[in-house]
Amino acid sequence: MDRASVIGIILGTVLMAASVMVNGVSKIFMFYDTASVLIVLGGASASMLVSYPLSDLMVLWTCLKKTLFNHKENPIEAITLIVSLADTARREGLLSLENRMQDIEDPFIAGGVRMAIDGLAPEIVEAVMNTEIDAVNARHLYNRSLLSNFAKYAPAFGMIGTLIGLILMMADFDPASIGQAMAVCLITTLYGAILSNLYFLPMADKLGFLNDFEIRTKEIAVKGIVAIQAGENPRVIKQKLMTYVPPSQRPEEEEDA
């Protein structure tokens, strides 16, 4: 579970609710309006249906879950594995990596090592793996756009709901109740702003962060496998790959070296 995402969503929701209840617990009920929920959620969902194929929208729920339950790639683990493979290949030959395949859990790294074992040229291995990286990056950016566009449509329908409320209010104008009617009109704008800025935009940004981290780890794997094919010294490979890792995240022995 991504504790930061869960804590952020809960904290933001609780703080906004608390700011309302400071003036009385009953005030919280003033901020619920069924019609406003239908306009914002229903309108934004309808716009998404117009924008994307239905099959692609099925991925939206998966994207939401990934922001809360995700496994962030660990470049240190990838580097450790690659250095270990490089040591085996240097001592026993490249074909000896066949016996290490069961130790490789990452299918991306396993695919690259398999191509190296099969004797493909390093430039071909690098080209194939980089093509897969591009495909993964494009797929992740597309999934991120699902959340970004929902975040774009929600405030727009919040404003539409406010305009609808103003029209209805002016059609049945009553000076005595204009304050309450105006408050109800503005609720849809509030709903749209909250959905966009507390939920969907931050979730889209979290997907972008996870994508950048995964792409960087895969780039480490490409450089490492090509270096193994070139027969480079495992220590040199480790030093080269550690340049992808921020100094604050490197193991202590690496910093001492």
- Parse the chain into domains and list their residue ranges: 1-31, 35-257
Report d(CA 143, CA 117) in Å as an integer: 34
The reported pLDDT for the residue numbered 32 is 86
Separation CA 91–CA 227 (nearest Å) = 15
The region of weakest confidence among 84-88, 91-95, 155-159, 184-188 is 184-188
Question: The pTM is what?
Answer: 0.82
Q: Would you state the pLDDT for residue 177?
A: 67
Cβ–Cβ < 8 Å for 8, 202 = yes
Reported as a pLDDT band with limits 50, 70 and 90, residue 20 is: confident
Rounded Cα distance, 117 and 201, in Å: 44
pLDDT value, residue 254 = 52
Residue with tokens 């695919």: 111
Weakest mean pLDDT among 141-145, 172-176, 211-215, 245-249: 172-176
